[in-house]
Structure 1
Amino acid sequence: MIKKLLLFVFLFLLIQLKAHANFNYDANCVDAYRAIMSLRLNEARQLIQKEKQQNPQNGITVLLDNYIDYFGLLASENKADYERLKDNKAKRLSLLEDNDSNSPYYLFAQAEVYLQWSFLKAKFGDYVSSGFDAKKANGLLKDNAEKYPDFLPNQKSLALVNVIFGSIPANFRSVTRFLGMNGNVQAGVKQLEELRTTLPKTKYSFYNDEVIFFLCNINIDALHNYGAYPKLITYLSGMENNSLLKSFLQGYVASKSAHNDDAIAFLEARPKSNEYVSLPMINYLLGCAKLNRMDEDTPMFLNAYVREFKGTSYIKDAYLKMGYYYLLQNDASKYEAYVKLAQTKGYATDEKDKQALREANDTKPDLDLLKARFYYDGGYYSKALNQLNGREVNSFALIRDKTEYYYRLGRIYERTDKPNEALSAYQRAINNGKATRYYYAANAAVSIGRIFEEKRDYTKAADYYHQALEMKDHEYQNDIDNDAKAGLKRIGK
């Protein structure tokens, strides 16, 4: 009898506990979320702890804890922290599964945990597990959409899944087929664009900064849509002014779309107090932008990056760029010292670092080509062209430099709306370099394909995309092949 009574009491208490479990995005949680999106993670932790004390059964705090891990790891790229924190995923899913199953946040919160860890696993190279997490997130989001079709946060994450599986590189398509997943980047972007205009008028308006965060990353990294700069900067202007994430995104979008002076201005004006998480990538971006402008404080920022960064990306590239800075200053000893560091420090896993290692092991670059390269990267096209105007192709001794000379001219002409001149220069780059291991010829073929695609001459576009694919064993092989295959897919060839 006593055992039955105890069992009854236990079940009653369990039911009562379940009854009080909830998902409530109250003021504490909204403020914590906004602090996270501004990268003020310690402030967010304090607000989450306050909410846990006031409403210990609020499942939103579990989701917010995951956001802190997510943005913290994106900022640091610290592999040791990733290994230490990744077990939090299972614990949080367990807590969320025990919460209010009648809330639209119930399946959504679980999907968000899966989705965020999918991004993180991909970032740290665990691609298969990342795919399974993305697939799980997609299933939860679709189930939730059937139950709550008007729940706008769900639409944000479904759009992201659409983008993820629509932008998988061609060499990883077998993974998506194995998972039974497909996506459409353009459809996902359209969904996010619609949400960006819809959300501010709703009770979910606090999600708008996250939508802008993803739109910036997708346009720049997945679509290479550098012409979207004015639009994205306008979007970013609406984010909270004291947001480090806003400053970073402004600088990132500007630097990637060749608005170099803007990038420097945005990054130098960032909030700098101890309230914010450490974000070493800002020093890398500033160092690269300063080099594009040939500023004398270039090494200060790149040195700060390699000193502070605990991840693996761009270490070799940063050392090599410091070497190039000193080469352009005619300081041969410092150039050699930093090239040696590029050869021996960091990791050759990211494509930029692989390329930096190849360049560090190659013959010293021609100074005019090097200056033209950096001026071009910064959007200083007239300076880049002036750097090459005094040279003839036969003034270069190496086939590498002859090919790069034509390639750089093609890039400059393409960006300055001179397609015929660009086509001629790119073709010469192909003729000179198609049998070399350098990427110039293959990328020139992709560029010609893109120009003909814009002209709607799809037969010629397809021919050049195929030419790019036929070139083998060159730098950036996977990236260039993926660009060529994406071009062929766009034109249906």
Structure 2
Amino acid sequence: MPLKIYRLPLFLLFSLLPFVVSANFDFNANCVRAYQNIFELKLGTARQLITAEKKARPQNSIIPLLENYVDYFYLLTIESKTEFDKLEANKSARLDQISKDDKNSPYYLYAQAEINLQWALIRGRYGAYFAAAREINRANSLLKDNQKKFPNFPLNTKGLGLVNVVIGSLPDGFMKSTLSTFGVKGDVQTGLSQLDKLAEDLPKSTYEPFYEEVIFYYAYILSDVAKHPQAYTKTMKYTARIADSSLLKTYMQAYVCARNGKNDQAIEILENRPKGNIYQPFAYLDYLLGVVRLNKLDLKAASNFDQFLQVNKGGNYIKDTYLHLAWISLLKDDTANYTALLSKAKSKGATYIDKDKQALNEANAPMSHLVLLKARLLYDGGYLSRALEVLSDSKADDFKTVKDKAEHAYRLGRVNNDLGKDDAALANYQTAFNIGKNQKYYYAAKSAVLMGNIYEKKKNFLKAKAYFNLAISLKDHEYENSIENEAKQGLKRIGG
């Protein structure tokens, strides 16, 4: 059973924390309580506490920082571009209040950097890359200045670590070139080391209340940005300290479980998540529960997807939800409903995020082969033996199209790879590459990267380099930017 954080009495916590730096950067007990509620996703309670602080101490410049945290997590959970456009106007007024305050406080530059960084992370979800790049540049500059002025202020490392990883992992393109123009560069390994050290050190310091925020960013980076092989282990280790009353903890743990083949654990976490009106509505968790249940070929997952569509107020994940519902119909051999749901995947929702872009691509592609669909879902859930059984019941000749032949070999490679059967995986990946290298599908390029990873593990760096470069050489296929970036990170690891 996970350990819980036992909250210190607030008067004692307040006396221990080095937060009260000046009269107008007053991270007092009420602000600490608001901050803690934000990171449990109890945003309504946090808003009440912030309102009370505003009445008691209107000049406290911690208030605009806390208000920005509330907007940030509200927008993350609601996934609404309309709400983003409405709330984005708050940014300048908050920065204006802070900029007029005490320049000798470590929170003066830090709070401005944090607000810029939060808006950049949200803005990037909607394709506003130039504005996001400017905000990242501004945040990076402020944090570096603050580091020089206050080298022992550990919160600088949180933002600098995040910037290092995000920028270091960006594929070549507009965002990366813009940041390079600003002189902002990143390094994935440096950023990971910074955040890992902070995660270890904070619980032993008086800055322990910031622990949950650090772990939130670190978990996101491990799973989504760096795709770190220890993403699951590290996330579960570091989130174990967080109180079970935190809905954000549920999200972090369920997400990393779902991304790393711990499907049953993800289902258990999501089904037992804290509930009630005290929590910010988070429709994504219904969507995620549908995904992990379908990975187990549980067709009752449709109820979770339907629940998501009912309560969701944003535009993201809608196309992917209809695609999953279409798959359920296909697994039921209901081709009429499958076609109708694919039509909805094409017409409803937005295409800001990769999941929805890919869902639209798949909705326009030929019908999925049932064997390959089952194997794909089972693999995603970590049910490797079941996936191998499904794939082994078919031969390459059973698949008629080039796409299906390439995918069959690729899926066999993924399963064998995860089962530790490197030689079999290499043979499968090579077949997938040979069949699919002239196609728009991602199987060939991804197979090349994965072969590079295997040879890297075997210390055969010459072959690893060759396959990473082979992946980069393939163009005009699905996931081109992310696969190319994976290959470049591989070359960087082996000094290629």
Q: TM-score range by the shorter chain?
A: over 0.9
CA distance in 2 between counterparts of 1:237 and 1:363 reads: 44
- Checking the alignment, whether the CA contact within 8 Å between 2:125 and 2:352 is kept in structure 1 is no
Aligned partner of 2:51 among 29, 43, 49? 49
Residue 163 of structure 1: CA displacement?
Answer: 2.0
CA distance in 1 between counterparts of 2:31 and 2:458 reads: 51
Residue 324 of structure 1: CA displacement?
Answer: 0.6
CA distance in 2 between counterparts of 1:359 and 1:179 reads: 37
- Checking the alignment, whether the CA contact within 8 Å between 1:316 and 1:346 is kept in structure 2 is yes
For the residue of structure 2 that corresponds to 1:170, the secondary structure is coil
CA distance in 1 between counterparts of 2:166 and 2:259 reads: 21
Q: Structure 1, residues 435-463: CA drift from partner, whole Å, max 9, x if none?
A: 22211111111111111112221211121
Pairing of 1:154-165 with structure 2 (within 5 A): 154-165=156-167
- Checking the alignment, whether the CA contact within 8 Å between 1:317 and 1:342 is kept in structure 2 is yes
- Checking the alignment, whether the CA contact within 8 Å between 2:409 and 2:432 is kept in structure 1 is yes
Q: Which moved more, 1:362-371 or 1:422-431?
A: 362-371
Partner of 1:25: 27
Corresponding letter in the other structure for 2:379: Y
Residue 369 of structure 1: CA displacement?
Answer: 1.1
Partner of 2:105: 103
Residue 309 of structure 1: CA displacement?
Answer: 2.5
TM-score, normalised on structure 2? 0.93
Residue 427 of structure 1: CA displacement?
Answer: 0.5
Corresponding letter in the other structure for 1:113: I
Corresponding letter in the other structure for 2:447: A
Partner of 2:8: none
Aligned partner of 1:383 among 376, 381, 386? 386
CA distance in 2 between counterparts of 1:259 and 1:20 reads: 47
CA distance in 1 between counterparts of 2:425 and 2:105 reads: 57
CA distance in 2 between counterparts of 1:138 and 1:492 reads: 27
Residue 226 of structure 1: CA displacement?
Answer: 4.2
Partner of 2:95: 93
For the residue of structure 2 that corresponds to 1:311, the secondary structure is coil
- Checking the alignment, whether the CA contact within 8 Å between 2:134 and 2:179 is kept in structure 1 is no
- Structure with max Cα Rg: 1
Q: How many residues align?
A: 475
Residue 351 of structure 1: CA displacement?
Answer: 2.6
Q: Structure 1, residues 113-162: CA drift from partner, whole Å, max 9, x if none?
A: 11111212212221111111111112211222222111122222222222
Identity of aligned residues (%): 45
Q: Structure 1, residues 453-483: CA drift from partner, whole Å, max 9, x if none?
A: 1222121112112222222222222222222
Partner of 1:75: 77
CA distance in 1 between counterparts of 2:400 and 2:181 reads: 49
Aligned Cα root-mean-square deviation (Å):
1.6
- Checking the alignment, whether the CA contact within 8 Å between 1:170 and 1:485 is kept in structure 2 is no
Pairing of 1:104-253 with structure 2 (within 5 A): 104-171=106-173, 172-253=175-256
CA distance in 2 between counterparts of 1:178 and 1:111 reads: 19
- Checking the alignment, whether the CA contact within 8 Å between 1:427 and 1:444 is kept in structure 2 is yes
Structure 1 alignment gaps of length 5 or more: 1-18
Residue 357 of structure 1: CA displacement?
Answer: 2.0
- Checking the alignment, whether the CA contact within 8 Å between 1:227 and 1:257 is kept in structure 2 is no
- Checking the alignment, whether the CA contact within 8 Å between 1:21 and 1:99 is kept in structure 2 is no
Residue 362 of structure 1: CA displacement?
Answer: 2.3
Partner of 1:257: 260
Q: Structure 1, residues 278-325: CA drift from partner, whole Å, max 9, x if none?
A: 111101111110110111321111122233323332221110111111
CA distance in 1 between counterparts of 2:46 and 2:318 reads: 30
Q: Which moved more, 1:388-397 or 1:172-181?
A: 172-181
TM-score, normalised on structure 1? 0.93
Q: Structure 1, residues 211-261: CA drift from partner, whole Å, max 9, x if none?
A: 111110010011112433122112111112111101111110100111000
CA distance in 2 between counterparts of 1:481 and 1:159 reads: 23
Corresponding letter in the other structure for 1:439: Y
Residue 56 of structure 1: CA displacement?
Answer: 2.2
- Checking the alignment, whether the CA contact within 8 Å between 1:400 and 1:433 is kept in structure 2 is yes
CA distance in 2 between counterparts of 1:435 and 1:146 reads: 52
- Checking the alignment, whether the CA contact within 8 Å between 1:52 and 1:58 is kept in structure 2 is yes
Structure 2 alignment gaps of length 5 or more: 1-20
CA distance in 1 between counterparts of 2:361 and 2:150 reads: 52
Label 1:236 to 1:368 Cα distance change in 2 as closer, same or farther (>3 A).
same
Aligned partner of 2:456 among 453, 461, 464? 453
Residue 350 of structure 1: CA displacement?
Answer: 2.7
Residue 343 of structure 1: CA displacement?
Answer: 2.1
Aligned partner of 1:439 among 437, 442, 459? 442
CA distance in 1 between counterparts of 2:158 and 2:357 reads: 35
CA distance in 2 between counterparts of 1:174 and 1:103 reads: 34
Residue 21 of structure 1: CA displacement?
Answer: 4.6
Partner of 1:414: 417
- Checking the alignment, whether the CA contact within 8 Å between 1:108 and 1:141 is kept in structure 2 is yes
Q: Structure 1, residues 8-57: CA drift from partner, whole Å, max 9, x if none?
A: xxxxxxxxxxx985211111011100000001001001111122222222
Partner of 2:305: 302
Corresponding letter in the other structure for 1:120: I
Partner of 2:354: 351
Pairing of 1:318-329 with structure 2 (within 5 A): 318-329=321-332
Corresponding letter in the other structure for 1:106: Y
Aligned partner of 1:473 among 468, 472, 476? 476
CA distance in 2 between counterparts of 1:245 and 1:219 reads: 16
Corresponding letter in the other structure for 2:131: S
- Checking the alignment, whether the CA contact within 8 Å between 1:264 and 1:290 is kept in structure 2 is yes
- Checking the alignment, whether the CA contact within 8 Å between 1:326 and 1:332 is kept in structure 2 is yes
Label 1:349 to 1:79 Cα distance change in 2 as closer, same or farther (>3 A).
closer
Higher normalized contact order (CA 8 Å, seq sep 6+, divided by chain length) = 2
CA distance in 2 between counterparts of 1:126 and 1:181 reads: 18
